[in-house]
A and B are shown apart, each in its own frame.
Chain A
Amino acid sequence: MTIYGTALLAACLLAGNFLGLLLGQAMGIDANVGGVGIAMLLLIVVTDRLRDRGLLAAPTQTGVVYWSSVYIPIVVAMAATQNVLAAVSAGTVALLAGGLAVAAGFVLVPLLARLGNDA
């Protein structure tokens, strides 16, 4: 059944966020540490196991794949609900702080990618 896949996906996100909050509390901060990342790992591991045992029927997979295929439309909705006006009309301090952080990040991507290759 398709809902099995969607329910599995939901369970992974809920469990991930739960563990992420516990991890944050253990570190003494009021924030979710990697909840979504943990959920992604959970989904990968659980679906791998189920597939190996032949328990991942095609309809079940559809229940996950549908949500991955509407990812871009969801991101478009997210873009349409950002506070773009505040970003565009931000003062010099905010523009420079945000802009230079982005520039530094872009410059470092190829450097770090190369660094990791040697290891």
Chain B
Amino acid sequence: MTTLWPTLELVLTKHPLVTAFAVVGFIMWSASILSKRLTRGRMHASAIAIAIGLLLAYLSGLSTGGTKGVADIEWLSGMGLLGGAMLRDFAIVATAFGVRLDEFRKTGLAGMLSLVIGVLLSFFVGATVAYAFGYRDAVSMTTIGGGAATYIVGPVTGSALGASSEVMALSVAAGLVKSILVMVVTPAVARWIGLTTPRAALIFGGLMGTTSGVAAGLAATDEKLVPYGAMTATFYTGLGCLLGPSLVFFTIRVLLSL
């Protein structure tokens, strides 16, 4: 008996990706049962599965003190590979299969507009909050504003401008808050904000920009909308990294000197 778990753990640890397939399958299965039994199908099984994933990540963070959710538990390290950027992007691209190009063309202008507005708005909101809490130099305001864009834009902007490590950590935390909120809140407000069509999803992706947040938020709302939101969202981080240390930084510096 005493050797059962160590042996099983050894097997699981030696097959990281295979273990992840089995574990995720089990989570999906539990979620579909919970969806049917507890909510009579009213709450999407994928929304429940994503919520379970986030809860497990939270509990793992508490018990391991790590930053990678369940992947910090050795026998679950394969979850990091399955849920990492490589396979996530691979699957996102696959969702575009069978999508008609017309949809992107029709919404092209609104999509681009939503990207620019989304990036600038996030910087503005983040920088304003930073100012209100006493971070009143242009470098800190731009860096925290970048975090309100995504958790990649923040540190990229911060290191380009030479922000302090405290401000960098704040900006990453702001980006994490955004990403997780988008995952959790999107299915709840989708109908209310008219997030039911491909064009609305394109605009949503451009406004939010956090690829992980948009990817999970739309998956929990309506799988068919995923390629549209993901398409615009993938341009967001690049645009943010471009505008942050340049246009946004100079604008904030000029505004502060008035």
A residues in contact (CB < 8 Å) with B: 9-10, 12-13, 16-17, 20, 23-24, 27, 29-37, 39-41, 43-45, 47-48, 61, 64-68, 70-88, 90-102, 104-110, 112-113, 115-116, 119
Contacts and interface: CB of A to CB of B under 8 A. Distances in A.
B207 interface: yes
Given A84-B57, A97-B126, A74 B87 contact: yes
A76 B50 contact: yes
A4 B10 CA distance: 35
A107 to B, nearest CB: 8
Contact of B204 (A24, A31, A99, A109): A109
A81 B71 contact: yes
Interface in B143-178: 144-145, 147-149, 152, 156, 170-178
B48 to A, nearest CB: 10
Nearest to A51: B98
A24 B144 CA distance: 22
Contact of B180 (A41, A80, A82): A82
B18 interface: no
A97 B172 CA distance: 11
Interface stretch (B20-28, B35-43, B247-255): B20-28
Contact of B242 (A33, A47, A61, A100): A33
Contacts of A96: 129
Contacts of B110: 112-113, 115-116, 119
B77 to A, nearest CB: 10
Contact of B178 (A12, A101, A107): A101
A97 B216 CA distance: 21
B226 interface: yes
B219 interface: yes
Interface residues of B, number: 111
A87 B67 CA distance: 10
A16 to B, nearest CB: 7
Contact of B83 (A29, A76, A100): A76
Interface string B66-109: 01111100000001101110011111111111111100100101
A24 B118 CA distance: 19
Task: Identify the 8 closest CB pairs spanning chains A and B, nearest first.
Answer: A85-B61, A77-B83, A98-B177, A116-B110, A33-B238, A79-B53, A78-B83, A94-B173
Contacts of B113: 112, 115-116
B234 interface: yes
Interface in B113-161: 113-114, 117-118, 121-122, 125-126, 129-130, 133, 135, 144-145, 147-149, 152, 156
Given A97-B126, A102-B182, A102-B185, A85 B96 contact: no
Contacts of B172: 86
Nearest to A108: B207
A45 B241 contact: no
B83 A109 contact: no
Contacts of A87: 173, 176-177, 179-180
A34 B232 CA distance: 8
Given A29-B238, A97-B126, A97-B130, A80 B69 contact: yes
Contact of A100 (B118, B129, B230): B129
A92 B177 CA distance: 11
A75 B69 CA distance: 14
Contacts of A119: 109-110
Nearest to B71: A81
Contact of B238 (A24, A70, A93, A101): A24
